[in-house]
Chain A
């Protein structure tokens, strides 16, 4: 089977600084892949390598089974959308959409057809004769997407396309992007630092750190079974609670507490005892009348309460360990109160303390 995009042993170095090292990545036909990571992790760099805007140091890139490692960006069959829109300000929207095609000597009626189609899909028909300066941010980004669309390519590359938009527009355009992907069924590679965008849009997410892919999996897998401590900490807001302790005979021990890890899906049979870190998501902690049904029950002292409308975020202390709990928005909790909580070990994550990998 040929992949839509195939990256083999990609190296990229700027002088002595190695930005990407031995990176392998296969992207399926029609897949929506999100490259997620904090700034400086190499995600945009990787996207620019795929686009051909950066010359790689070593390795190979295939698009649709064709080796494009040294091909010009325009010959790779890609369309790209940028964070800053990168529209041509002196041209009308129509000019922006058609300039590249005219340059590629596409016949006039074909250009008209493609522009009309893109305008219809993105609902920018009424804007065609305006200049980018007269458009809102969301409209500009739609035009930028249109410019990639008219190229009639197999692979779309998005470089943080929604980061310059305000919060509400970002949500709207995110939904539109998802709809667009369902409609076009193209391969899309999308760079972002926003985990909500990643979780909502992606078929698979590649979490990057220091030029390497930490985990490449479906959003569900990444959320529920993070492969290491970094991924576990990065995904989820508020982030996971971590408590360091020991794994002994299938139980997690911390201070004088013992948490039998019954129902936890170990990656490999546990033979030796070892120092470990347990991770529990704040939203996986139950409170109130649900507590008696939980396999493990504790009491915590409430430190601080942050009501957020839909949820209430409670900062508490479990023994001496800080512990965040996400409760219902209507929950009545006061500072200084002691409340009962329940935890299900099958939803927790255990990590080796030394290697930080999932156990």
Chain B
């Protein structure tokens, strides 16, 4: 029991300071609070600061150069391609994995047989690391080894499907692998959300003669909003940081056609030893996340009245 020294006698003479309320819980939370402050916020600020310097190596107190790194970043074709790729990959991945995940979940939710087995099979890719996924899909999409070769051997001699060799569509080859890995997880999340919906709601909509697809769109999906938000956050985080999949599947090639921002940052920081430029790029990534996050957070938590 913590009692502040106020000169008064008797432990119960004064209301204890609110600072000491739930003291054990507060002490227990200190490591995480410190981690959040030092590692997340501290390092973010440190990164942003050094993105305005000429730093090349760690530790890096260096000359302040203002926006020079940013100017250089946006003049680089490789960075522009990375951003474009991320935009395509992000938009498609978000829409497709949510759609596919939801459809799979809805199919599994119809009380089918062997549900557990099917669910496990669909979830399996999620257990693999991105490196394995990338390699597997590199093989599958390899024109000499994979899908194209198989179909040609069946007789369709002109069949062409070589996304990872074609600079125009290589990002879609990565997209396929990303969705293959991610939609199972989305499915499991959404299925759990669907199971949380009262069965009576389904019965009520059946009695009213509302077809199943309408019930999903107008009743079930709105009710699953919190699960969708969770899925959205997890998918988005995965999109922004996509790196290992690209490295394993295409190494950013052909040429720079499948570069992504995270790969750019890593390479500037550790391969080219241009810390300042890498930091500028990662600051841009942070900025793009905030551009999405802040309006959403404002909508979600700001006008809390319309529940």
Contact = CB atoms under 8 A, between A and B. Distances in A.
Interface string A299-315: 00000000000000000
B207 to A, nearest CB: 5
Interface of B: 198, 200-201, 203-211, 214, 218-219, 222-223, 307
Nearest to B215: A88
A332 to B, nearest CB: 47
A80 interface: yes
Given A89-B222, A90-B223, A100 B210 contact: yes
B208 A103 contact: yes
Given A84-B200, A86-B200, A99-B208, 8 more contacts: A80-B203, A88-B219, A88-B222, A89-B222, A100-B205, A104-B209, A134-B307, A147-B204
A255 interface: no
Contacts of A74: 206-209
6 contacts: A48-B203, A82-B204, A100-B208, A144-B204, A151-B208, A159-B200
Contacts of A84: 198, 200
Interface of A: 48, 51-53, 72-75, 78-80, 82-90, 99-100, 103-104, 131, 133-134, 144, 147, 151, 159
A82 B206 contact: no
Contact of A133 (B207, B208, B209, B307): B307
A86 B203 contact: yes
B203 A75 contact: no
**Chain B facing A: main interface SS:** helix
Given A84-B198, A86-B198, A89-B222, A99 B210 contact: yes
A79 B200 contact: no
A89 B200 contact: no
A88 B207 contact: no
Nearest to B204: A86
A80 B202 CA distance: 12
Given A90-B222, A99-B218, A103-B208, A131 B307 contact: yes
Contacts of B204: 80, 82, 86-87, 144, 147
B223 A53 contact: no
Nearest to B307: A133
Nearest to A54: B203
Contacts of B218: 88, 99
Contact of A82 (B203, B210, B307): B203
B226 to A, nearest CB: 12
B222 A83 contact: no
Contacts of A144: 204
Nearest to B223: A89
Name the residue among A75, A78, A79, A100 with the largest chain B CB count within 10 angstroms: A100
Nearest to A131: B307
A151 B203 CA distance: 15
Nearest to B203: A53
10 A-B pairs closest in CB distance: A74-B209, A100-B208, A86-B200, A90-B222, A82-B200, A86-B204, A80-B207, A73-B207, A86-B201, A84-B200
Contacts of B211: 103
A72 to B, nearest CB: 7
Nearest to B222: A90
Nearest to A51: B207
Contacts of A103: 208-211, 214
Nearest to A48: B203
A51 B198 CA distance: 18
A91 to B, nearest CB: 8
Given A86-B200, A86-B203, A86-B204, A73 B223 contact: no
Nearest to B198: A84
Contact of B200 (A52, A83, A99): A83
A343 B198 CA distance: 51
